[in-house]
């Protein structure tokens, strides 16, 4: 149980960090959008490492697309995936 709890909070902290990195492109106008081309595949891959199975695959694709589309960097996809994984999916599974 402790291992599951540790990975839960590790994923939250990493997700907040990765969402912050994704939002950095707003700091440097012009250059920031170019950095999204580099960050998008990295973010998608990281998402698949944090969350296994279908959730990770779907979230990885969504994260990749979200990072590539200008102006969508404000969406915290890592944090939203964490909320889905540890709160919404668990409630769904309990019914």
DSSP for 43-90, written as a single string: HHHHHHHHS-HHHHHHHHHHHHHHHHSTT-TTS-HHHHHHHIIIIIHH
Report yes or no: 61 and 50 within 8 Å, Cβ to Cβ.
Answer: no
- What pLDDT, on the 0 to 100 scale, is given for residue 92? 63
Residues 31-78: tens digit of each pLDDT: 777 788 899 999 999 999 999 999 999 999 999 999 988 878 889 999
- Domain that residue 47 falls in: 2-88
- What pLDDT, on the 0 to 100 scale, is given for residue 95? 44
Number of independent structural domains in the chain: 1
Rounded distance between C-alpha atoms, residue 67 and residue 16, angstroms = 15
Is 95 part of any domain? no
Is 72 part of any domain? yes
Report yes or no: 19 and 46 within 8 Å, Cβ to Cβ.
Answer: no
Report yes or no: 18 and 78 within 8 Å, Cβ to Cβ.
Answer: yes
Residues 11-27: tens digit of each pLDDT: 999 999 999 998 887 77
């Amino acid at each position: 149980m402790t291992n599951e709890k540790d990975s839960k909070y590790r994923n939250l902290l990493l997700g907040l960090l990765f969402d912050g990195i994704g939002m950095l492109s707003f700091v440097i106008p012009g250059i920031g959008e170019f950095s999204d081309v580099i960050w998008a595949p990295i973010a998608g891959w990281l998402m698949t490492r944090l969350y296994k199975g279908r959730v990770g695959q779907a979230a990885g694709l969504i994260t990749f697309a979200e990072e590539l589309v200008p102006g969508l960097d404000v969406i915290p996809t890592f944090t939203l995936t964490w909320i889905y994984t540890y709160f919404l999916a668990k409630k769904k599974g309990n019914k």
